[in-house]
């Protein structure tokens, strides 16, 4: 994946994080553990790429323990259209009673409604089976 493609994916994934209640002024993505899982061809002109194990860190914190979210990513592609979203997502939570832990934020696979609305209507039939 090229740097421009990665930058676009990161922007889209940050926007998607906000839908799950995670908003940070500065973040950094750690792709070192992310593994490409493959491509599912939905149709001749569309595909869904899968990545597992993408970590998001607080950019202001240089510690190794600054992870704020971790999950698996799907990227929808059709022609010039590209849209990345979280397929599975856990967010770091600092609970006063339980202490720090990761909490599941998205456990159901498939394209969520807020992502589905971002897909142009003429492309939706190509990704319909990805809705879960």
Q: 11-66: per-residue pLDDT in tens?
A: 999 999 999 988 887 889 999 999 999 888 877 789 989 999 999 988 876 655 68
Spell out the residues 6+ positions from residue 47 whose beta carbon is closer than 8 angstroms to its own: 39, 40, 41, 76, 77, 78
Of 128, 108, 116, the residue nearest 46 (C-alpha): 128
Q: What is the pLDDT of residue 131?
A: 81
Q: What is the pLDDT of residue 127?
A: 92
Of 81, 90, 86, the residue nearest 110 (C-alpha): 86
CB 47 within 8 A of CB 39: yes
- Residues 99, 20, 53, 67, CA torsion sign: negative
pTM of the model: 0.87
Q: What is the pLDDT of residue 15?
A: 95
Using one digit for the tens of pLDDT, what is the confidence trace for 77-120? 999 999 999 999 999 865 556 656 788 999 889 999 999 999 99
In the chain, how many domains are there?
A: 1
Domain range for 104 is 3-131
């Amino acid at each position: 994946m090229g740097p421009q493609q990665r930058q676009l994916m990161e922007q889209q994934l940050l926007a998607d994080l906000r839908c799950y209640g995670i908003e940070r002024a500065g973040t950094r993505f750690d792709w070192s553990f992310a593994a490409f899982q493959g491509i599912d061809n939905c149709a001749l002109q569309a595909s869904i790429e899968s990545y597992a194990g993408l970590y998001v860190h607080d950019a202001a914190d240089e510690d190794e323990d600054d992870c704020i979210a971790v999950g698996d990513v799907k990227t929808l592609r059709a022609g010039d259209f590209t849209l990345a979203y979280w397929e599975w997502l856990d967010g770091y939570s600092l609970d006063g009673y339980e202490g720090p832990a990761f909490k599941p934020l998205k456990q159901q696979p498939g394209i969520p409604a807020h992502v589905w609305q971002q897909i142009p209507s003429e492309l939706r039939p190509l990704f319909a089976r990805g809705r879960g």
